[in-house]
Amino acid sequence: MSTHFAPGSKIAVKVVKTPSNAAARKTIVRVLSRDKGIQAENARLYGTRKANKRVTVRGGRLRVWEGRLVKQHAIKGNIGDAGTFTCTLDVLTDLASVARFVEVSAA
């Protein structure tokens, strides 16, 4: 698969099979997070988490405790999740490890 795409070319990745382990799901989420639309959604979610953090004083006047919300990923690595982005060498190695779960095509 990595021989078909050169670094610097645009590729489209689509999840076609449910990942069988957590490591593959994390790899798919990491690779698909390079898509501009998904990056914009992650930035929006970051702003929401930042605006809704709970700040309390603990142990005196100068110690501030921030209760932050857990990150919610815009994509979960489910069947049908897709993204388009520029291919790099690290993307090619990641895609080779999850090749049985994704479909890669030129964009």
In a domain, 4, yes or no: no
Domain that holds residue 79: 10-106
pLDDT at 36: 96
pLDDT at 56: 83
In a domain, 59, yes or no: yes
In a domain, 48, yes or no: yes
Confidence (pTM): 0.83
Distance separating alpha carbons of residues 33 and 26, to the nearest angstrom: 10
In a domain, 81, yes or no: yes
pLDDT at 3: 53
In a domain, 55, yes or no: yes
Question: Number of folded domains in the chain?
Answer: 1
In a domain, 15, yes or no: yes
pLDDT at 2: 47
Query: What one-character-per-residue DSSP string does 6-38 give?
Result: -TTSEEEEEE-S--SSHHHHHHHHHHHTTSHHH
Render each residue's pLDDT in the chain as its tens digit; 107 residues: 545 899 999 999 999 999 999 999 999 999 999 999 999 999 999 999 988 888 888 777 777 888 888 888 889 999 999 999 999 999 999 999 999 999 999 98
In a domain, 5, yes or no: no
In a domain, 70, yes or no: yes
